[in-house]
Chain A
């Protein structure tokens, strides 16, 4: 972690600054971008064993979700949600640990990269099967309602491709039937891996589907972080107020390949040079600049760089999983563990 020296007055001021959602989003977006740039370079250096999947260009939409949530809420992120995770409060070092396979990480090297989660923090560990997290998040919310908790919201992400799965449909439908406070944020980046929208679905706008599910729908320009905050923030608020599931569709582009193994050359050049191809981080910087917070932005960026460098250094010295010390049991049963081991 970065060590910062600041007197009390500055500390207080920055704490207040962090109350502002746009500033919290800025910091989450910057930290995500800086961290993911670092992860990409570690990947190229062969330091990461599995794949690396970035949220480049999608940080604004993702961060809006993370920042709109609060303690007691649930986030079920997908692969391009580094900014949302950080905005919600996932420790940055845990992301590094998951990618580098540290034994101290949330998945202890048993699972990696974007599959990390921490149930104690309200972050569900995604499985790779798209759409599956929708009903799982609904289940968490149903459980909270049965436990008489109040005022909670669950938010999960999907891509345009995930909306084609049966699981997505079943999950959103069941959440609507149960009127659960679920926000589903679809990042429509035009491509599922290499497959463009017109090979994925035939409807004009995914937002039209909201009506079919009987849920409220919200469209947003995903490249505009301010609009993302307003729209996602409002959707989260609506869900919190008891208005049932909310479907947000943000249109944007991913400014990278599907993973770092992919050059993404199939993405239409015209789209890239259109407004949809804007880098939301640059848009956000301009917004902050117009608010007179340019110096803060630069400071946040520097802090993010220090934090990332420190985290990578720290994790590099952490123990890796040891096959000889590993507890090779897939069930939790206590008292029956011996039988299970034989099983």
Chain B
């Protein structure tokens, strides 16, 4: 028996529907069809009236969830692809995110974003949106990298009193497997040292954690021990765990699949530079995708995003300084 990342997301939603009558799922094709990625397979049959097909109206999908959350429900909205959530941005950033601050009343909802690149997906089915959402106050932004986290963090997200943007990586959906669903969980706001090491810290999240781990393995063959920190949640950011790692290694590379202007890796480098300057033996570096739309053909796509090979190159440069 094994459980994929996608199975974990489906299982978490099933458990949430089972445990809390306030939970419902809303999204395009999520009902009888079971969702574009089958993340809600069979849930409509098991929970009649609580797994609801929406029109192709991302603004209204999120707006409806905001209203339902204000009324005490816990909606889980599935965007078919993270990229399309731009159409619902206004409701998420200006409505969901401001409600608690403005009214003192919670707005518990989850926006599930099938995120990140896969071969052949191109400019409009590959995006990583975490930085945009993280920029706005009032939102929690999660980026699970493991099967266990996909399950436990989604459950935690649904139980939270705040709007949560749940960035699940499509590349991990099918191939990432675990033996079973976790019985206990690390709290969602705690970063996790995915691989300990003494020479250099590589901070990553979502699918990039696996690229970073592969790069660390490669460098281990060259005698360097890379510590890989999996952020798990990018907002709020667990700065303490990052700084503690840099205190051990003295060197930092922050990796993100999203674009290079600003974003999570920039935030990590900024915090380490300003709060942990004395800990550093080398300038902190970042590695991101190229600053172009995400390409269609795998030849271009694999050169566009950070890979284990490119991460290893960047780590060597940090180590050589």
Contact = CB atoms under 8 A, between A and B. Distances in A.
B76 to A, nearest CB: 13
A179 interface: no
B162 to A, nearest CB: 4
B50 A146 contact: yes
B295 interface: no
A334 interface: yes
A107 B103 CA distance: 6
Interface string A307-343: 0000000000000000000000011111010011011
A172 to B, nearest CB: 9
Given A170-B60, A333-B160, A339-B236, 11 more contacts: A132-B94, A135-B59, A138-B64, A139-B66, A140-B70, A142-B67, A167-B63, A174-B57, A330-B100, A333-B140, A342-B236
A139 B68 contact: yes
B63 A132 contact: yes
B162 A331 contact: yes
A206 B283 CA distance: 61
Contacts of A111: 98, 102
B102 A115 contact: yes
B67 A173 contact: no
Given A135-B60, A174-B55, A339-B189, A332 B100 contact: yes
B270 to A, nearest CB: 14
Contacts, number: 152
A332 B106 contact: yes
A227 B65 CA distance: 35
A177 B55 contact: yes
Given A132-B90, A331-B138, A339-B238, A107 B102 contact: yes
A136 interface: yes
28 contacts: A108-B104, A110-B102, A111-B102, A119-B103, A125-B102, A125-B103, A132-B63, A132-B91, A135-B57, A135-B59, A136-B66, A136-B70, A139-B63, A146-B24, A146-B73, A147-B73, A167-B60, A170-B60, A171-B60, A174-B64, A330-B138, A331-B138, A331-B162, A336-B187, A336-B236, A339-B189, A342-B237, A343-B235
A139 B70 contact: yes
A238 interface: no
Contacts of A343: 235-237
Given A127-B95, A343-B235, A143 B67 contact: yes
A134 interface: yes
B302 interface: no
Interface in B168-214: 187, 189
A139 B67 contact: yes
